């Protein structure tokens, strides 16, 4: 793959993620304004005449596909009219591009890449970790962020530490935020915001886990959704927001367990099957398959030190939760004892 191809893939990946964050309200005002004012230049396509009936049919097919995609990804949420219109506009253009091909696509693609390249150049700095690696970041204001595996962390360079300090997180991170009462530090995770002035805490916001959890070591942490505040947390307080039924629970919880991953510990605190899969992949690079309803509905709890082996973890889980397991080439097969 050429360097040009790799660059185009990076730009397309960025555009897809940017449009997702735009719809979720996760982009800053400056970026939102640029996206709202962007209109693809398709004047060059006039040089490629086509049958109108064929174009109408193509537009209809692509629009239906996009509408289905929207419904699937939004899980019942209402889509803003402007965003729906934007999708329909792209769908119509895509239909023409697919039919005309060649020079028309090159004209549109060039315009799209230019938008993505411009926004990438002046808008943000992002770090992405894979399922085996973590990273520690020092931000311009002195804040230190430890980013867990399978995560993405982003700041807007042009506005960070001006009037406020905004960052975006998908996944998990531990924050040690530099104190500055005049400039709030705001973490965006989907629909939720966590706001502090100077404190340390852990945020878990993996989309596949359907929950958002904040656990506080020190200071005060405010968790909100839009104008609604869910809670003000202090030392050893934890807020868990269920994204499926939108319920909130605030409890006492040891912050060291929530941030155990920063010390290499594996901590399962009422974990479901999806979190078990995630944690075993992060800790050991192992994949998990559950068969015959094994562990369905179970909430798994256990703490393992950094020296624990995969077999140690699985033997403990098997004993407590009445399952059988086998490991072959780092692939774990879990079955209930009744179906062994």
Distance CA 307, CA 266 (A): 10
The predicted-structure confidence for 67-122, as pLDDT tens digits, reads as follows 444 444 444 444 344 444 444 444 444 444 444 444 444 444 555 556 556 555 55
- Specify the pTM: 0.66
Distance CA 41, CA 162 (A): 34
Task: Identify the residue with better confidence: 108 or 301.
Answer: 301
Nearest in space to 312 (alpha carbons), one of 297, 327, 329: 327
Distance CA 323, CA 246 (A): 31
pLDDT band of 340, cuts 50, 70, 90: low
The predicted-structure confidence for 319-330, as pLDDT tens digits, reads as follows 999 999 999 988
Question: How far is residue 184 from each of residues 92, 109, 179, measured CA to CA in Å?
Answer: 42, 39, 9
The answer to whether the 137-258 and 264-339 domains have the same CATH topology is: no
141 touches 169 (CB < 8 A):
no
Task: Identify the residue with better confidence: 158 or 332.
Answer: 332
Mean predicted confidence (pLDDT) in 217-232: 93
pLDDT at 180: 93
What does the block give as tokens for 254? Answer: 């040891």
pLDDT at 190: 85
Across the chain, mean pLDDT equals 78
Hey, where are the domains in the chain? 3-123, 137-258, 264-339
259 touches 202 (CB < 8 A):
yes
The pLDDT > 90 percentage for the chain reads 51
The predicted-structure confidence for 122-162, as pLDDT tens digits, reads as follows 556 889 998 889 999 999 999 999 999 999 999 987 778 88
| Residue 133 φ then ψ, to 5° | -130, 150
pLDDT at 28: 61
The DSSP bridge partners found for residue 313 are none
Contact residues for 229 (Cβ-Cβ < 8 A; gap 6+): 222, 223
Question: Is the pLDDT assigned to residue 189 strictly greater than 70?
Answer: yes
DSSP letter string, 161-203: TTTBEEEEEEEEEEEEPPP-TTS-EEEEETTEEEEESS-EEEE
**Residue 83: how many CB atoms within 10 A of its CB?**
14
Distance CA 182, CA 253 (A): 29
150 touches 130 (CB < 8 A):
yes
The CATH topology of domain 137-258 is: Jelly Rolls (2.60.120)
pLDDT at 102: 43
pLDDT at 119: 58
For the 264-339 domain, the top CATH level (class) is alpha beta
Question: How far is residue 65 from each of residues 60, 68, 97, 110, measured CA to CA in Å?
Answer: 9, 5, 16, 24
pLDDT at 39: 53
């Amino acid at each position: 793959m050429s360097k040009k191809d790799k660059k185009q893939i990076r730009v397309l990946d960025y555009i897809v993620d940017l449009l997702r964050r735009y719809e979720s309200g996760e982009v800053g005002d400056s970026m939102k304004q640029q996206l709202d004012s962007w209109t693809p230049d398709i004047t060059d396509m006039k040089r490629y005449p086509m049958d109108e009936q064929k174009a109408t049919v193509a537009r209809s097919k692509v629009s239906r596909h996009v509408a289905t995609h929207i419904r699937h990804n939004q899980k019942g949420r209402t889509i803003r009219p402007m965003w729906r219109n934007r999708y329909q506009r792209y769908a119509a253009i895509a239909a023409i591009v697919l039919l005309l091909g060649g020079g028309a696509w090159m004209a549109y693609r060039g315009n799209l890449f230019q938008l993505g390249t411009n926004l990438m150049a002046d808008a943000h700095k992002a770090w992405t970790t894979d399922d085996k690696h973590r990273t520690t970041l020092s931000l311009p204001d002195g804040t230190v962020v430890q980013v867990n595996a399978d995560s993405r962390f982003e700041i807007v360079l042009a506005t960070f530490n001006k009037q406020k300090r905004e960052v975006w997180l998908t996944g998990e991170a531990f924050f040690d935020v530099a104190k500055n009462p005049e400039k709030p530090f705001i973490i965006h995770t989907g629909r939720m915001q966590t706001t502090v002035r100077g404190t340390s805490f852990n945020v878990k916001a993996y989309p596949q886990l359907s929950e958002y959890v904040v656990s506080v070591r020190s200071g005060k942490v405010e968790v909100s959704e839009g104008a609604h505040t869910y809670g003000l947390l202090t030392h050893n307080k934890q807020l868990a927001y269920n994204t499926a039924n939108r319920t909130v629970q605030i409890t006492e919880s040891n912050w060291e367990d929530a941030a155990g991953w920063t010390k290499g510990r594996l901590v399962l605190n009422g974990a479901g099957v999806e979190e078990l899969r995630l944690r075993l992949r992060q800790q050991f690079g192992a994949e998990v398959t559950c068969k015959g309803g094994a562990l369905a509905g179970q909430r798994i709890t256990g703490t393992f030190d950094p020296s624990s082996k995969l077999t140690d973890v699985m033997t403990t889980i098997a004993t407590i939760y009445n399952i059988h397991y086998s490991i072959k080439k780092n692939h774990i097969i879990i079955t209930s004892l009744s179906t062994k």
